[in-house]
Structure 1
């Protein structure tokens, strides 16, 4: 698997063997286990030269599944998750199973008969279902109460992902959810190590870093795009959250090897 970086309009599923390093949106993952990454549209990723494995990619029209189980639908737990990059660590049995499914996908593409598209969709669904099960086990999510709370987290996650550029406060999201800010904080921190305010700010800072690293927009223009009319306030916020000024971040990132 060659070193690569991507920000196209596709969802990517990466099966990567132990020993490599994957970078997703400025965060490095040194792989001590085989793993599966789910990379959404607009996310930047890079694989170092030690990475081996398989990547498949698709657009949301191909897999946009309305299911009774929302956890594995096209916008399920593994997608648009503001809490962490969805990475699923695999034990030996799970890794062998995942390799088998990827091999079957490759075989179906080579066969290429009239039913190949539906078969590929079923195999992709299998990857997503199995990965979601592993993710839930890793995060100790079981029972209806826990499922309901995770669904609430997912709703909040999607809401932040849509509105982060104009809604910057916990109170705004609490109002959209028809609860108090205190209640929102209590529900989010039950299954997340980050508070709602931290989640909102982290999403804003992630987008700021993407724009600084991958577009020619000025620091002032980045701030405006993220809903900050006062450029000085945006610079102070970025510096406080990231430990480095926007301009220094851009210069530092551009000096990194491609």
Structure 2
């Protein structure tokens, strides 16, 4: 099915670069006509240093605060609405930017803020770390503007140092480092959900594909993500439902069928249970917000 949101690649912003590191004000002036809401097929980070307003990721809205860092994985939907002067930094790079540099192609998966869970995507940078964070980003900006033969590698190193500094703020990442097998298993489960959520709805079906027991899968999800395997599956279905509900040409019944529900009333009950509102209420609220 076709998404109702534009999926932008890095070429939309600059077809001749592998990475973008920029002051936010400069970036906004250059790409102020970019469509919102939107999705990217690359990693997208925004650090606000001043200003206010609202920032939403996958339909969850937050108030912008100075030195708030937003980390977004490929595919996530985001939107922003600013109040007054806004400034900070923006960083964009595709997954392969680090894959060609590191022996471990999945190295970035070790940082919890890239896991795609919205509650882990937003980090308030404490005062004692702000100078270090800004210095690393400013150095990366200078490298992208220079002609150093190794500038992309230098930017990679600076960004990795930045990610490590941010990750050290929270112990949640440690599990990924000491138990890489568990992390890989969780990632494989989430990839399988993305590929099969229209047809496979039960944890035991995914457990079979992963060659583990349903109990093992559920324990893993609760330990690493904080919710059950069933909730991870249901959350992915509901996220796709939200994306479809923005399209006013589709009825709720048609959306239910697109998501492989035989009974639209069951779809409505599940949606309300997971979100606290009916599909029509969600549609009305978010379309009013967008338009």
Q: 1:43 aligns with which of 76, 81, 84?
A: 76
1:196 paired with 2:229, answer yes
Q: 2:134 aligns with which of 89, 95, 99?
A: 99
Deviates more, 1:188-197 or 1:81-90: 81-90
Give ranges in structure 1 of 5+ residues lacking alignment: none
**Aligned-pair distance for 1:90?**
2.0
Deviates more, 1:24-33 or 1:168-177: 24-33
**Aligned-pair distance for 1:202?**
1.2
Within 5 A, what are the aligned runs for 1:53-92? 53-65=88-100, 67=102, 72-73=107-108, 77-82=112-117, 84-92=119-127
Deviations 1:166-205, CA, capped at 9 Å, x for gaps: 3211111111122221222222212333111112111211
Deviations 1:49-107, CA, capped at 9 Å, x for gaps: 24531112223343435745566337864434347442333222332222112211221
**Aligned-pair distance for 1:25?**
1.2
Task: Give distance in 2, aligned partners of 1:108 and 1:66.
Answer: 17
Deviates more, 1:159-168 or 1:147-156: 147-156
Pair 1:220–1:117, CA change in 2 (3 A): farther
Task: State the partner residue of 1:10.
Answer: 42
Q: What is the SS of the residue equivalent to 2:79?
A: strand
Task: Give distance in 2, aligned partners of 1:231 and 1:146.
Answer: 41
CA RMSD of aligned residues (A): 3.3
Task: Give distance in 1, aligned partners of 2:77 and 2:205.
Answer: 29
**Aligned-pair distance for 1:111?**
1.8
The structure with the largest strand share of the pair is 2
Deviates more, 1:13-22 or 1:184-193: 13-22
Pair 1:155–1:127, CA change in 2 (3 A): farther
Give ranges in structure 2 of 5+ residues lacking alignment: 1-23
**Aligned-pair distance for 1:246?**
1.7
Q: TM-score, normalised by structure 2?
A: 0.72
Task: State the partner residue of 2:209.
Answer: 176
**Aligned-pair distance for 1:12?**
0.7
Pair 1:196–1:119, CA change in 2 (3 A): same
Q: TM-score, normalised by structure 1?
A: 0.80
1:162 paired with 2:195, answer yes
Task: State the partner residue of 1:213.
Answer: 246
Q: What is the SS of the residue equivalent to 1:46?
A: strand
CA contact (8 A) 1:13 1:57 kept: yes
Task: Give distance in 2, aligned partners of 1:31 and 1:224.
Answer: 37
Pair 1:67–1:58, CA change in 2 (3 A): closer
